Structure 1
Amino acid sequence: MIRTVELHGHRGARGLLPENTLPGFAHALDLGVDAVELDVGLSADGVVVLGHDQLLSAVTLADTAPAWPGDPAFPYVGKAVRDLGLAQLKTLDAGVRRAGDAFAGTQRAMPGTPIPTLAEVCTLVEPSGVELAVELKTDPSWPDADISRFVAAVVEVLHGSGLGARSRLLAFDWRVLACTPREFGRVALVERKTLVPGSRWLAGGPPRDFLAAALAVGATALSPEHALTTPGLVDDAHAAGLPVAVWTVNEPEDMARLAKFGVDAIVTDYPDIAAEVLATAPA
């Protein structure tokens, strides 16, 4: 049966293997995802690296040793990605999740797994034909010049890897979308906290009419959290010409329900489960 709803592996396959790592992406590819979703930051020396949090999180990362003897920045966990160079970031172990975390019970640990660069992920994904959904982790406190520099760095890697045509850039901070080159897909992420009155996340657009605001910044798709996703929202987005990729959907009943709503893609931590559900979802 032809799958009518795309399957996107969230941070690779976060529920199964360490997030935002090469082993996690490889497993997502093996499970037959249509796209791998990942998060990126920019190191102090201008390298695009994988990671969900602007401050290195002790949930997903552990210090091993300083990048060089006597490095005053060590330990690195808890510090900002933007304040550390690639050599420092590469010392971190991204393969073991903190004990007691919800995903630690389902995720197979891979001790010694380093943080990858975006270029390394592109090398892994390029032969597969699978698409990349690259979320740039910024927030409204960032100066516009830093946003532009970050976007340019990501675009350079994707172009250099030959994956420009297979990549889309995602952001909650919609200034990212406004300065993304038009040849890339531009996905407007939304969640409840970014749609409050006075929100600074939408590049000046009004939260009360966020679909129009998304179109105004050049979005080519909408990606709402699943709690916001209703049949009405899906219909309105489609009427505006915006496909809908809903996140993060981990329960089979929610996957089936959202497929019935007519969403275009489901983003999940468990691509294995979603593949089974979507294989039997009515067209």
Structure 2
Amino acid sequence: MNCKEEKFIDIQGHRGCRGLLPENTIEAFKKAIDLGVHTLELDVAVSKDGIVVVSHEPYISRTYCLDTDGNEILEAFDKKYNLYQMTFDSIKQFDCGTKLHPRFPEQKKMKTYKPSLEEVIRISKNKNPNIKFNIELKSRPEYDGIYTPEPNEFVKLVLDVVNKNNAFNETNLQSFDLRVLEEIKEQSPKITVALLVDEDESIQSKMSKMSYAPEIISPYYKLLDAKTVNTLQANNFLIIPWTVNTNEDLLKMIDLNVNGIITDYPNRLIQILKD
């Protein structure tokens, strides 16, 4: 397919490479870089002591983590281990790599922990100075002050880490929460912003609620068709869908000429682009 050769597609490793190694871990990010991704997609929360922690949930998830003694976390304790109420040192005591993830049987298992954003940026840049970061701030109104800081503080903490580690030009920030996106533009007008659109949302409707135009539109992949992609790109938006995993769906997104693809299996996308 000539389109694959002619057009650059930003290969984004979702939570590192969740299909292959435990999500949002140093090991997964290193593996993704070794595979050849251009961008590491990751999620952040905040600890009690103000450390930006790389984690999809603002709590220790019983789906893929064990407690500090290596035991299963009971359903009754779901969401009990709130990262915002725990120091970073205590968060690191939980094993988030040994337990078999029910949705990712190919994941290689290993004892590992939730790292800090600073650690991820530093190690990743040492491994590949050109690597880029797509950082999602996991925020919801009902989390404010309970599981996460208020949006203004959350955004400030993340920007401080990005700037301190000289990663501004390699980073974009993304969120489903429009309050966070407005706060990002207020605090850092020149940083690249991605609007995340969930599967039950409308791209146009959500865009219309923003006070500015983000550089990237990042919708659930099934929301996209040729007309939508062409129209958005004609208006200078980059289109980077999430989370595309099967070869069939990866090929569909390539055929739509999207600008990037977020995938749990960057190895599959890389192979398709080589063929």
Tell me the TM-score normalised to structure 2 length: 0.87
Match of 1:124 in 2: 123
The answer to whether residue 242 in structure 2 is matched with residue 247 in structure 1 is yes
Q: Which of 171, 174, 180 is residue 178 of structure 2 equivalent to?
A: 174
Q: Which of 88, 92, 97 matches 2:90? A: 88
- Is 1:209 matched with 2:177? no
Q: How many Å separate the matches in 2 of 1:233 and 1:143?
A: 34
- What is the CA RMSD across the aligned residues, in angstroms? 2.1
User: 1:264 offset after TM fit, Å?
Assistant: 0.3
Structure 1 residue runs of 5 or longer lacking an equivalent are: 67-74, 196-206
Match of 1:72 in 2: none
Taking the aligned partners of 1:60 and 1:17, their CA distance within structure 2 comes to: 12
Moved more, 34-43 or 181-190: 181-190
Which runs of no fewer than 5 residues in structure 2 stay unpaired? 71-76
From 184, 196, 207, the equivalent of 1:189 is: 196
Residues matched between the structures, number: 257
Q: Deviations for 1:243-263, whole angstroms, at most 9, x for unmatched residues?
A: 000111111111111111110
2:261 to 246, 266, 270: 266
Q: Residues 239 and 211 (structure 1 numbering): CA distance in 2 closer, same or farther, change over 3 Å?
A: farther
TM-score calculated relative to the size of structure 1: 0.85
SS of aligned partner of 1:246:
coil
1:2 Cα deviation from its structure 2 partner: 6.6
Q: Is the Cα contact below 8 Å between 1:177 and 1:217 reproduced in 2?
A: no
Give the secondary-structure state (helix, strand or coil) at the position aligned to 2:141. coil
Q: Which amino acid aligns with 1:120?
A: E
Cα distance per residue 1:169-215 (max 9 Å; x no partner): 010002211111122111000012344xxxxxxxxxxx76333335x
Question: After the TM superposition, which segments of 4 or more aligned residues of structure 1 sit over 6 Å from their partners?
Answer: none
C-alpha distance 87-194 of structure 1, shift in aligned 2 (>3 A):
farther
State the shift of 1:232 in Å.
1.9
Moved more, 31-40 or 144-153: 144-153
Alpha-carbon distance in 1 for matches of 2:240, 2:87: 33
